[in-house]
Amino acid sequence: PAPVLAVVGRPNVGKSTLVNRLIGRREAVVQDIPGVTRDRIAYDALWNGRRFTLVDTGGWEPDATGLQAAVAAQAEMAIQTADAVLLVVDASVGATATDEAVARVLRRSDRPVLLAATKVDDDRLTSDTAALWRLGLGEPHPVSGLHGRGSGDLLDAVLDAL
Ligand code: GDP
Ligand code: MG
């Protein structure tokens, strides 16, 4: 089976937009993955002749335990079900306390973890991307899901990690 990359991050950081960009098409193969909730949707992706599966997570609703616990649970689930994890952070906002909490969970993972700084639509935000090194997940990859900027470099990094 194709290796699986799970995409995690806070609501509205741009995960689904980025996933659509990375698979290069709008229509998507929706699969049922046993044991995971229906808000996790898997897409077949192909880059440089290699297949992989992208899992977009989202739609999770913070319950009484709060947003940070919900995001941490999302990250734990991603670590357990994927071969690598992509944390998406909104570069126009910077790292929030929730982003730091999820990064803390992901740093304990023995799976490869990549960091995408999205909404980098132009050079103006590229400098803000460097601040995300402090999440301790290695190089932040600047990308614009909306315009496609940086997506090829991110895909190269993803396939190196898988
Ligand atoms: P998700 O909740 O993390 O899946 O985020 P979405 O992909 O649904 O995007 C949330 C909002 O951010 C939407 O209004 C998107 O249009 C916007 N957005 C996503 N990616 C980008 C981007 O690269 N640049 C800009 N400017 N806006 C973006
Ligand atoms: Mg989404």
Residue 126 CA to residue 92 CA, distance in Å, equals 10
Helix, strand, coil % in the chain, rounded to nearest 5: 35, 20, 40
Map out the domains of the chain as residue ranges.
4-161
Mean pLDDT by 10 residues, the chain (162 residues): 92 89 66 47 89 80 68 82 95 92 92 96 84 96 94 97 96
Q: The tokens 């997506």 sit on which residue?
A: 151
Distance of CA 72 to the CA centre of its chain: 14
Ligand 1 contacts (CB < 6 A) are: 9, 11-17, 58, 118-119, 121, 144-146
Residue type, 80: Q
Look at the pTM and tell me if it is higher than 0.95: no
Taking a 5 Å cut-off on Cβ, the residues next to ion ligand 2 are 15-16, 58
What value of ipTM does the predicted structure carry? 0.99
Query: For position 11, what pLDDT does the model report?
Result: 82
34 is in an annotated binding site: no
What pLDDT is stored for residue 65 in this prediction? 65
pLDDT of residue 61: 55
Which superfamily is assigned to 4-161 in CATH?
P-loop containing nucleotide triphosphate hydrolases (3.40.50.300)
